A and B are shown apart, each in its own frame.
Chain A
Amino acid sequence: MLKYIDQADVQKRMNYRIWKNSLCKALFLFAAMFGLIVLAILLVRVFFQGVNWIDMEFIASKLSTNADRAGIMGAILGTFWLMVVVIPATLIIGIGTAIYLELYAKKGRMQALVQTNIANLAGVPSIVYGLLGLTVFVRAMDFGNIVLAGGLTLSLLVLPIVIVAAQEAIRSLPQHLSEASYGMGATKWQTVKNVVLPAALPSILTGSILAFSRAIGETAPLTVIGIPALLIPFPGGIMDTFTVLPMQIYYWTLDSSLVAEYANLAAATIVVLLLMLFILNFIAVLIRNKFQKRY
């Protein structure tokens, strides 16, 4: 039988097939690196364009139409007050919803409906949330474009992320934890409060911090709500008008075709914003690594 097989031909084909495999492996590796290369170009470019503009004066001053004197303190304070609204609102609603769905809701049509609904909400473009905020908070409730209206809008936007993270955290807890609590005579709420929540909290926080960093970087809904960017006083509370770093970047980028220096200001603001986000992400990773427990 073997004499009918042309060994030379087999060898040739095999070499070709192995060569093709190696070639494609290199191609796939390049594809995997492509995103990272673009990321590196983006970061390096923004950093070198912006870093010279960052000094204490840039951080601490007010906005100004004069590029040399413009600063971002107002936007930093705006982000701070925005988080004062977003963090508690998102955590309370997100964790509450997750506890209800995982531990209280009867498995049935209602629960399935809420679950599908959350999945759909996660896919709604952020700008549509902006219109919701504009119509409900700014116009109907007549808040105007203040921190509270922006914060509630962004809370609704990132809520699906927190709910899903909290649900997964609760679901991944082993059954015997709560069974032990029930066995000690604890009621359901006591079990939730004293056993389930503390055990699930680290992974809930990890997911939530990612949601907050999403909220900090979000621009589209705020443009729709009508957040101003220039020459407003520093916000002192959640009822004040405000601006945030991404809005600053937006206006400075748009105006850079008029005043070239504005592009550098935008780059400098991006460096500050990305630094904030990286620190937040780093904290999230730290929490995940520190509290990663196996039961």
Chain B
Amino acid sequence: MAAQPEFKQQPGDIKNIIEHKKQRNSLASASEKLIPTILFIIASISILTTAGIVVTLLTETIAFFQQVPFGEFFTGKILKPLSQNPEFGILPLINGTIISSLIAIIIAGPIGIMTAVYLSEYASERVRKILKPLLEILAGIPTIVYGFFAFTFVTPILREIIPGMGATNILSPGLVMGVMIIPMIASLSEDALISVPNSMREGALAMGATKLETTFRVVIPAALSGIIASFVLGISRAIGETMIVTIASGSSKNFTFDVTQSMQTMTAYIVEVAGGDAPAGSTIYYSLYAVAMTLFIFTLLMNVLARYVSRRFREEY
């Protein structure tokens, strides 16, 4: 190894060494000052993203409401963007969105929480270690695959069972969305259940309660805030879900409660309009943003609510 110049220096050259060190240190301290600034700029991108979303949605939505009255949009039961006399009522889309999300949560809620109870209260450590990652696979499957599954497998089966069911309907994507959000609800609820301290379970068991009674009278009430939050997040996820409903629920803008009918959700409308050639500046084009804004506010409120519930009603032990 070649000797470095510093080591050759005589003690008299100590000044040189100090000079050399000073130079290096000033370079280092310059980068020490610069790097926090660079990192700050990088970190602000997430704020910029939010600002970008809000500004784009807001400006185009305002433009939309200059062409379509506020009241007509939010109370109109008819959505006919392409007709001669276009009508822009968002109620059919909200209707479709809520119905599909309700079907999903009716499936995913009970199954998700029962799965969570099994994993946290009944399963042995070994079973848990196998089941959990397997369930996570379910969450990692792209939603387009679920869409394909709903359209080519679930819908034909439902049509066999229920006469008069359309090739596109809201029931099939709702059910499949339910399966999609099971792992999410299960894993969040399980987190809530597991964080209930063991001393509470042991207290109930010592009183002679069975595991079932302990779970339903002690553990679940104690973890209720977390469980409710997981439901709310699940619904929010179903509201924002796009590809399953786009493929399997069709594009009829029906305002109905009949789940065998084709209905359109807010997300599916966005795909339909953005995918078609809506000329920039037309009312249809602006309606895209007005619907997206409504969707954004819906999911934002749900997410804030979930965080509020889990924080406000958390029991501290």
Contacts and interface: CB of A to CB of B under 8 A. Distances in A.
B148 A101 contact: no
Contacts of A28: 114-115, 117-118, 122
B65 interface: no
Given A120-B300, A281-B140, A131 B57 contact: yes
Contacts of B49: 121, 132, 156, 159
Residue from B44, B52, B60, B302 with most neighbouring chain A CB atoms (10 Å): B52
Interface in A183-208: 187-190
Contacts of B42: 92-93, 96-97, 100
Q: How large is the interface on A (under 10, 10 to 19, 20 to 34, 35 or more residues)?
A: 35 or more
Contact of B240 (A21, A46, A127, A273): A127
Given A96-B43, A126-B240, A274-B145, A36 B134 contact: yes
A87 B53 CA distance: 22
B210 A123 contact: no
B307 interface: yes
What is the predominant secondary structure among interface residues of chain B facing chain A?
helix
B106 interface: no
Contact of A131 (B29, B210, B275, B292): B292
Contacts, number: 247
Interface string A82-98: 00000000001100110
B144 A117 contact: no
Interface stretch (B2-10, B32-40, B74-82): B32-40
Residue from A131, A156, A160 with most neighbouring chain B CB atoms (10 Å): A131
A188 B153 CA distance: 57
B46 A31 contact: no
Contacts of A131: 56-57, 270, 274, 288-289, 292
A210 B141 CA distance: 11
What is the predominant secondary structure among interface residues of chain A facing chain B?
helix
B210 A21 contact: yes
A86 B37 CA distance: 24
B137 interface: yes
Contacts of B45: 93, 97, 159
Given A29-B118, A34-B111, A125-B296, A250 B56 contact: no
A117 B114 contact: no
Interface string A16-56: 01101100110111011011101101100110000000000
Contact of B299 (A32, A104, A123, A224): A123
Contacts of A180: none
Contacts of A119: 303, 307
B35 A189 contact: yes
Interface in A127-148: 127-132, 134-136, 139
B183 interface: yes
Contact of A97 (B43, B142, B153, B243): B43
Given A131-B288, A266-B148, A125 B242 contact: yes
Given A21-B210, A92-B42, 15 more contacts: A20-B212, A29-B118, A29-B122, A31-B118, A32-B114, A32-B131, A97-B46, A100-B43, A120-B303, A121-B46, A124-B299, A156-B49, A189-B31, A214-B140, A217-B142
23 contacts: A21-B212, A28-B117, A31-B115, A32-B115, A38-B179, A39-B137, A42-B153, A97-B39, A105-B43, A114-B44, A117-B47, A123-B300, A124-B240, A127-B292, A190-B28, A217-B142, A220-B243, A220-B246, A220-B271, A224-B271, A226-B275, A246-B142, A274-B145
